[in-house]
């Protein structure tokens, strides 16, 4: 499955608010309400205005404030740039075409991309288990071996040995009734690969439609977001990418009989 990672142009804001001295007071309020510092210049694409001590100061737009409309949203350099500036200026060649705030990672293209990738990842985990000669019964036996030491596995064993669940398993392809964390646990248990359970965090955020970028305090300010939550989400996604690549590589090696 070829899943295209969104680019900055997919989630940026193209309806840009520029600095205009005729609206200076309104623009001060605009920036303060959103906890942003920079506005692009109305007259020059290479200039911006920084709100500093309640006054706007004209500055050059530096390279670390710029991103390309075609940059992948989870490129390693993007996080570093956001750490320095919470709003980045988006360019198409030498033309300013938009801005992007880290809260834009709550937009639909991010959800759709990760949702597709998670589905692909789970499918590949099942294929990995099947290729290793394992079946649903091996998963149930795994739960059984852990049930005396862990209530989680005791509950799992009870659930998947009930008549209705057994019937459901017969109606579906192998491993389709099990959760992501259980697929990973069984792969690790049989030492097929060593995978991280941290991918579960990304999966739960996306499948439950929880905004990955949180508000600093929604009750007090609905336009101010928490950068730390964005940073954590970005790192979790990078871990997920690594694990997805690891599983895909293993399947490719098996297919090529290497």
Question: How would residue 256 be classed by pLDDT, with cut points 50, 70 and 90?
Answer: confident
**pLDDT one-digit tens code per residue, 54-112:** 999 999 999 999 999 999 999 999 999 999 999 999 999 989 999 999 999 999 999 99
- Integer Cα distance of 189 and 128 in angstroms: 13
Structure confidence at residue 127 (pLDDT): 97
Q: What is the pLDDT of residues 177-207, one digit of tens each?
A: 999 999 999 999 999 999 998 898 899 889 8
**Confidence band for 208, pLDDT divided at 50, 70 and 90:** confident
Whether 258 has a pLDDT exceeding 90, the answer reads no
Q: 237 CB contacts (<8 Å, ≥6 apart)?
A: 74, 114, 202
pLDDT (0 to 100) of residue 218: 66
Across the chain, the runs of DSSP E, i.e. the strands, are 38-40, 47-52, 55-60, 66-68, 87-92, 95-101, 215-217, 221-225
Q: At 6, list the tokens.
A: 């969104």
> From CA 191, how far away is CA 132, in angstroms rounded?
10
State residue 3's pLDDT score: 81
**Beta-carbon-side half-sphere exposure of residue 40 (alpha carbons within 13 Å):** 24
Residues ≥6 apart with Cβ < 8 Å to 244: 117, 120, 121, 124
DSSP 8-state secondary structure symbol assigned to residue 68: E
Instruction: Kindly tell me the burial class for residue 16, based on how many C-beta atoms sit within 10 Å of its own C-beta (0-12, 13-18, 19 or more).
Output: middle
Q: What b/e string do you get for 156-168 counting C-beta neighbours within 10 Å, with b at 16 or more?
A: bbeebeeeeeeee
Please give the domain boundaries of the chain with CATH numbers for all domains: 8-104 (3.10.580.10), 108-255 (no CATH)
**pLDDT of 153 over the 60 cut:** yes
Q: What is the pTM of this model?
A: 0.89
Report d(CA 17, CA 228) in Å as an integer: 25
pLDDT of residue 219: 54
What DSSP string describes 154-182? Answer: HHHHHHHTSHHHHHHHHHS-TTTTS-HHH
Handedness of CA 140, 145, 146, 148 (dihedral sign): positive
Provide the 3-class DSSP secondary structure of residue 208.
Answer: coil
Do 194 and 177 touch, CB atoms closer than 8 A?
Answer: no
Rounded Cα gap, residues 19 and 121, in angstroms: 45
Mean pLDDT of 202-224: 80
Whose tokens are 């589905």? That residue is 119
Mean pLDDT of 14-39: 94
Residue 221 has pLDDT above 60, yes or no: no
Longest Cα pair distance anywhere in the chain, in angstroms? 73
What does the pLDDT average to over 223-237? 92
Environment class of residue 12 by beta-carbon count within 10 Å: exposed (0-12), middle (13-18) or buried (19+)?
buried
- Mean pLDDT calculated for residue range 135-145: 95
Beta bridge partners of 225: 215
């Amino acid at each position: 499955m070829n899943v295209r990672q969104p680019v900055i142009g997919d989630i940026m804001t193209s309806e840009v608010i520029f600095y205009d001295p005729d609206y200076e007071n309104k623009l001060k309020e605009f920036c303060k309400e959103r906890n942003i510092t920079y506005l692009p210049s109305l007259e020059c694409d290479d200039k911006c205005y920084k709100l500093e001590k309640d006054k706007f100061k004209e500055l050059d737009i530096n390279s670390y404030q710029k991103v390309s409309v075609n940059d992948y949203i989870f490129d390693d350099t993007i996080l570093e740039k956001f750490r320095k500036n919470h709003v980045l200026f988006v360019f198409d060649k030498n033309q300013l075409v938009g801005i992007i705030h880290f809260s834009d990672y709550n937009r639909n293209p991010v959800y759709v991309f990760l949702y597709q990738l998670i589905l692909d990842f789970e499918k590949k985990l099942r294929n990995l288990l099947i290729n290793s000669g394992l079946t649903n019964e091996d998963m149930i036996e795994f739960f059984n071996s852990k049930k005396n030491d862990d209530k989680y596995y005791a509950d799992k064993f009870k659930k998947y040995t009930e008549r209705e669940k057994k019937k459901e398993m017969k109606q579906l392809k192998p491993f389709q009734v099990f959760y992501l964390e259980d697929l990973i646990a069984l792969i690790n248990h049989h030492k097929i690969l060593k995978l991280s359970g941290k991918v579960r965090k990304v999966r739960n955020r996306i499948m439950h439609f929880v905004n990955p970028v949180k508000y600093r305090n929604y009750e007090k300010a609905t336009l101010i977001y928490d950068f730390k939550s964005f940073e954590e989400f970005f790192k979790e996604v990078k871990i997920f990418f690594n694990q997805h690549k690891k599983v895909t590589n293993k399947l490719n090696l098996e297919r090529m009989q290497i």
